Chain A
Amino acid sequence: MLEYRTQGYNGYSVKYSPFFDSRLAVAASANFGLVGNGRVYILGLTPNGIVAEKWFDTQDSLFDTTWSEAHENQLLAASGDGSVKLFDITLSQFPIQSWEEHAREVFAVHWNLVAKDSFLSSSWDGTVKIWNPNASQSLITLPTHSCTYSAAFSPHSPSILSSVSSDSHLRIFDLRTPASACNHLTLNIPIHTPPKPRMGAAAPVGVPPSEALTHDWNKYRDTIVATAGVDRLIRTFDIRAPAAGPVAVLPGHEYAVRRVTWSPHLSDVLLSASYDMTCRVWTDGSAMGAGTIKQENMLQQDPMVLGGGREMGKMVRHTEFATGVDWCLFGAEGWCASTGWDERVMVWDCRAIMH
């Protein structure tokens, strides 16, 4: 396990470069992101441990970062002052572009993996905005009318994107649909839909809505999205069956989940980071042959458990809220990086904690 201290700055998000297996970006904020400066770190993984290759300071807290898919030296940062900033690590000090449209904290930025000339941002102001790095204004604004903690493009289609927000809904937008009254919104899935009742277990009733904080598209199954948030549960949905409720429900985290991310290597594996200070590895139970684990005593089982998934391991080295986690795209499957409010970035192999 490699470790780097973001001294004076509490981590909010970590992302592996899609171009280099040894480069990380970390968005961090002074004073836990409540008030004060932000900093985005560019970290290099070297034989001598993690070194800061560069950092950029900002006036307000930073809550998320994402690498450009088009340009190996560029990355975006989501700022508390409502701006989205593009940095070039070959230049010093200032962003090469800053888009100031959001009325409140920007909490997510994500680059389009297919159409590499666009990216998106989502904000507490209740909107998702689509941008072109060469345009000075946003291309499209999609309202969610609810504090939107997370938004992402589908990795399988250039025009499909999704968001989750504090109203407990997963929204799917398709930019190919006409921009009519529904603003490209094609699906609005209530995340708190209880799983279907099963034999031998009490049906979960009255699952109340709760804020959704994060979600991610599966990298192999193009209709599967994982969500998680304040109710501590990770759920997966199949957007082909939006009314069917979750496909899998994975309880285990003891506090709200801040980040989920699917493995780039294995279709059933995901990582999560939570306010309970742990990062956990999960299988959603969909892998061939995984089957349903035998339930010894149905009465003792949490009625929300669904889909045969399970926690495969947890990383407990963080000593404050774990806020960001990401997979390395290269090399042996299992390498990942995490960050948290303990001012630490850790690079570790999740195969070492799996059981």
Chain B
Amino acid sequence: MANQTGRGQQAQERLSQVSSHLSGSSSQKGKQALLEKNPDDIVITCALRTPITRGGKGGFKNTASADLLHGAFTALIRRSGIDPSLVEDIAVGTVLAPGGGATEFRAAALAAGFPVTTSCKSLNRQCSSGLQACVDIANAIKAGMIEIGIGAGAESMSSQYGPQAVTEFSELLEGHKEAANCKVPMGVLSEKMAKAKGIPRSEQDKFAASSFQKAVRAQQQGLFDEEIAPLTVKWTDPKTDEEKTITVAKDDGVREGITAESLGKIRPAFSKDGSIHAGNASQISDGAAAVLLMKRSTAQRLGQPIIGKFVQASVVGVPPLLMGVGPAAAIPVVLQKTGLGKNDVDIYEINEAFASQCLYCINELGLDMEKVNPKGGAIAFGHPLGVTGARQVSTLLTELKRTGKKVGVTSMCIGTGMGMAAVWVAE
């Protein structure tokens, strides 16, 4: 009998040895490997954003970016139930704030209830700042520098958008051709790129109209409600100059009834025979977003609900005048790093800086249009520069969860010629 027990145990050991040969391939790449759950995964336990409102007109036109950030922080603490003293670092992406926003963002964190022991930095990688913030925090957790952190973004384009946001170029920089290209305005170079890459206005208008239509549909179905944290702010009525207190719970840039035909009537903004106009470019907007990141083992220990995981990011440089091709350059790199095929990805959130560049990237990569920005994009609800990267995380994860899908990519082009992309998995 004892012998038989020994036999059974030996068989069990041999079986587990063989099964470890089949499953124990942690170096394995591709979709299957991505879906595996490991204790050292970097996971997201809460991702949210304020509504995004129209610059100069919308609900946040009189709200400072640090106040928007404060709103995102307090909502994050409330929703996740995280003990603020456990958060070790916060990174905030922002583009326009003078001095990088470093001072007021640290103050916003303290005001939101984080103790003095929670550190805070601001960073600026142009339009990908929000994503860079999340990636910086994820990497710091991966490297063991911190255990829990927040990647965030905040931008008040109403108050801080304008020529003062760019320093005058020196003679040295002006004298270098490629360097001088870095200050060509986005609209102008995108116009040139649309022409060079042969993307007709009709296509751009069609793409822009569909972004509006998708966003309208999503808003009507309440698909943004889960990711949005409503914010109560002071707002000055432009007609009466009366200061009111309002609660903003919706993106107010989303307009109904937009069609390719109605967009076709708008005058081009950058040159007479151009193709880019206010209706097929991203809106100027205000908003904030925040993403709570930690290791899976930490989340399990704290009982935090895991909504997704961060897998990998990529960043690449492209010629400054072709900055719009950024996603087309960055997405293949991140797919290669993770061993994914383009069809393994269920949803692509590609920032719609301009319909022209987004369309170019989709065509260049040969992506299925159905998979790109299913709830619309920056053309419909706005592109608060430093926020977008962090905003895409909540937009992506809620949509993946709703549709029962798994793998998503967020990406955007970056002024001065770069592209960034990241792979996320919903759980």
Contact = CB atoms under 8 A, between A and B. Distances in A.
Contacts, number: 62
Contacts of A256: 21-22, 25
A208 B22 contact: no
A255 B21 CA distance: 8
Interface string B134-176: 0000000000000000000000000000000000000000000
B337 A230 contact: no
A162 B100 CA distance: 58
A40 interface: no
Nearest to A107: B17
B215 to A, nearest CB: 32
B332 A255 contact: no
Nearest to A203: B337
Contact of B21 (A34, A61, A205, A213): A213
Nearest to A256: B21
A231 B332 contact: no
A229 B25 CA distance: 9
B343 interface: no
Given A33-B14, A275-B21, A210 B26 contact: yes
B27 interface: yes
A231 B15 contact: no
Interface string A29-64: 001111100000000000000000000000001000
State the main secondary structure of chain A at its contact with B. loop
Contacts of B15: 34
Interface string A295-332: 00001111100000000000000000000000000000
B143 to A, nearest CB: 12
A322 to B, nearest CB: 13
Interface in A198-246: 202, 205, 207-208, 210-211, 213, 229-232
A95 interface: no
B28 A232 contact: yes
A34 B14 contact: yes
B85 interface: no
B25 A105 contact: no
B333 interface: yes
A255 B28 CA distance: 9
A159 to B, nearest CB: 31
Contacts of B111: none
Q: Which of A35, A213, A275 has the most CB of B within 10 A?
A: A35
Nearest to B12: A34
Contacts of B25: 210, 230-232, 255-256
Contacts of A231: 25, 27-28
A210 B24 contact: yes
B10 A230 contact: no
B225 to A, nearest CB: 38
A211 B21 contact: yes
A111 B171 CA distance: 76
B7 A35 contact: yes
A300 B336 contact: yes
B245 interface: no
Interface in B1-17: 7-8, 10-11, 14-15, 17
B27 A208 contact: yes
B221 interface: no
A61 B339 CA distance: 38
Nearest to A192: B27
Interface in B85-114: none
A318 to B, nearest CB: 16
A61 B14 CA distance: 11
A211 B24 contact: yes
A334 interface: no
Interface in A43-102: 61, 80
A124 B16 CA distance: 13
Contact of B20 (A207, A208, A211, A299): A211
Contacts of A300: 332, 336
A192 B28 CA distance: 13
B14 A80 contact: yes
A174 B207 CA distance: 69
A299 B21 contact: no
Interface in B318-337: 332-333, 336-337
B10 A35 contact: yes
B27 A299 contact: no
A275 B26 contact: no
A205 B314 CA distance: 13
A210 B33 CA distance: 14
A202 B336 contact: yes
Nearest first, the 9 A-B pairs at minimum CB distance are A35-B11, A231-B27, A299-B332, A256-B21, A34-B11, A208-B27, A208-B26, A34-B14, A230-B25
7 contacts: A34-B14, A35-B7, A80-B10, A192-B27, A232-B25, A256-B21, A303-B336
Given A34-B14, A275-B21, 10 more contacts: A35-B7, A35-B11, A124-B17, A147-B17, A202-B336, A213-B21, A255-B21, A256-B25, A300-B336, A303-B337
